[in-house]
Amino acid sequence: MLSPRLLKRIDNSFIGRIVSDKRDIIERTNPDKIYIENVRSFFNTSFGIAKFLCEKAVDFGYFEKYYGYKCPIHGNVIYSSKTELEGDQEVYCGTCEDLGKEKFRYFANELNTVVFYRLIKNKEKYAVG
Ligand SMILES: [Zn+2]
């Protein structure tokens, strides 16, 4: 067992800071909305490598990939799906509608998209190898 004094020393050290940075990242990350940036920051790597890791996690059945569509006014994700929408498909923004904005329906090709991943919790689905 580690003594409290040793734990305190680890906690004050460079390693302790790395561990607590990771803890912060884990606590801030919603398992239903994992962005490439979360993975990049966790592994302290490049965006390209983080994206590759996420795609591999999809291949091995750990993550599901989603496309999120953002309201051009509010920037919040107003629609998400496992497949990309056709450009002429319409998406509603409930916030714009609630605020009585004249325009609250948008074509998919008017919207910025963001890719995110969802952690699959059912372990039986995990691929082996
Ligand atoms: Zn909106």
pLDDT of 21 reads: 73
Distance 114 CA to ligand 1 centre (A): 16
pLDDT along the chain (129 residues), means of 10: 73 68 80 92 92 94 95 93 95 94 94 94 60
pLDDT of 16 reads: 65
Which segments within the chain are labelled E, that is strand? 34-35, 63-70, 77-81, 90-92, 105-107, 112-119
Which segments within 23-81 are labelled E, that is strand? 34-35, 63-70, 77-81
For tokens 């689905």, name the residue.
125
Distance 83 CA to ligand 1 centre (A): 22
Distance 115 CA to ligand 1 centre (A): 19
Q: Which residues pair with 116 in a beta bridge?
A: 35, 66
Q: Which residues surround ligand 1, an ion (CB under 5 A)?
A: 71, 73-74, 93, 95-96
pLDDT of 127 reads: 57
Ranges of each domain in the chain: 1-30, 31-122
pLDDT of 73 reads: 93
Distance 68 CA to ligand 1 centre (A): 14
